[in-house]
A and B are shown apart, each in its own frame.
Chain A
């Protein structure tokens, strides 16, 4: 692990750990996008995407928690006993989630009310947990931060796409601006309600699959 450090040393100035950082970024945000390709963390993705505003805040929350929890899991990776690593990860993640929650409560009370328990549920978001477990435990801090950012970013983008279309089709307006005039478009309430969320996510994943091309993957028995 330590021999990764020099590789990462000089490139900090360049921002993204050279080639490896770029690769990590691309992997997290596109080729193995946590939401659309790996289908992780969909609970919150479905719940908060009824409005673009909520989706963006949630995306920011995930980037924040992802970056810092990955950083600290990575910093502590050599001193964390293997057997209790899960608890340690959860504790680190929960700390940052609480920070973000308190921040929302203090400065954006309305938003905090709207997101309800879903901010707290970032703790159980498989993306964060998965990245901490799969990446931060094996990689140096800076690279882990990049990975956390990439995955959070990939998540946020897909979230924003879903949020945009659900709000657009569901109420005809986005962020309070009327885009589809009521004279020819009747808002489809269903898109804001629960079934619309499942439908929208299903379509988005299918589109990602189609772009990525066919994969020799059978549905598991």
Chain B
């Protein structure tokens, strides 16, 4: 497999968008897509955490877990790395941008249980990426997630003024809109592809 990191990056953003094709990170996607500014903040945090944790997890998996034959511990080690790293980011944001800290509120710790982060690390292992590819994939997935949540926030801001049938208010209509969004992204499918 000789796909270059750039191709993987583009593919992770557009054709294999981690949210719209792999459904990862839906919880915070639905809960946090009310406002564009919040979406940007969370998107940035996720991109950063995802890139960094891919790198750390790559190193841990190939230098510690695999040589020692401990790959059944993969899940627990990865989630611990992610939890510790999110703690670090939380402290960082609290120190340098209190405004963002209040805006994101409860959702920062929730990045720990954001499946997209763990998912990116797991996909990286399953697809046998080398180091550069992993970095590209982690970064691209983060960007793709951010793109999707910002688009969604924009759409939801518009939707606030529309007359939606009663049972569809809130989450259901968000799902339907995501469906349309996913269909739109399928249009990129012919461009590049990874697995």
| Closest B residue by C-beta to A209 | B167
Kindly state the separation between the CA atoms of A120 and B115 in the bound complex, as whole angstroms: 10
Kindly state the separation between the CA atoms of A94 and B112 in the bound complex, as whole angstroms: 13
In the complex, the answer to whether A199 meets B79 with C-beta atoms within 8 Å is no
The B interface, classified by DSSP as helix, strand, loop or mixed, is helix
* Residues on A with beta carbons closer than 8 Å to the beta carbon of B123: 117
In the complex, the answer to whether B172 meets A205 with C-beta atoms within 8 Å is yes
Q: Which of A40-48, A53-61, A150-158, A179-187 contacts B (4 or more CB under 8 A)?
A: A40-48
In the complex, the answer to whether A221 meets B34 with C-beta atoms within 8 Å is yes
A-B contact count (CB 8 A): 134
Within 8 A of A (CB), among B157-195: 160, 166-176, 178-180, 182-183, 186
| Closest B residue by C-beta to A105 | B72
User: Known: A121-B118, A121-B122. Is A194-B186 also a contact (CB below 8 A)?
Assistant: yes
- In the complex, whether B83 has a CB less than 8 A from a CB of chain A is yes
Which among B24, B72, B167, B179 is the interface contact of A98 at CB below 8 angstroms? B72
In the complex, the answer to whether A198 meets B182 with C-beta atoms within 8 Å is yes
Within 8 A of A (CB), among B7-66: 20-27, 30, 34-35
Query: Contact residue range for chain A?
Result: 35 or more
User: Known: A202-B173, A202-B179. Is A117-B126 also a contact (CB below 8 A)?
Assistant: yes
* Residues on A with beta carbons closer than 8 Å to the beta carbon of B74: 120
Taking beta carbons and an 8 Å cutoff, which residues of A are in contact with B? 39-44, 46-47, 86-87, 90-91, 94-95, 97-98, 101-102, 116-117, 120-121, 123-126, 129, 190, 193-199, 201-203, 205-207, 209-210, 214, 217, 219-221
Taking A47-B23, A195-B182 as known contacts, 9 extra A-B pairs with beta carbons closer than 8 A to each other, sorted by chain A number, are A39-B171, A86-B83, A90-B79, A94-B76, A101-B72, A124-B113, A124-B118, A195-B186, A202-B179
Taking beta carbons and an 8 Å cutoff, which residues of B are in contact with A? 20-27, 30, 34-35, 72-76, 79-80, 83, 109, 112-115, 117-119, 122-123, 126, 156, 160, 166-176, 178-180, 182-183, 186
CB-defined A-B contacts under 8 Å, sample of 13: A86-B109, A90-B79, A90-B83, A124-B112, A190-B183, A193-B186, A195-B182, A202-B178, A205-B171, A209-B172, A219-B156, A219-B160, A221-B34
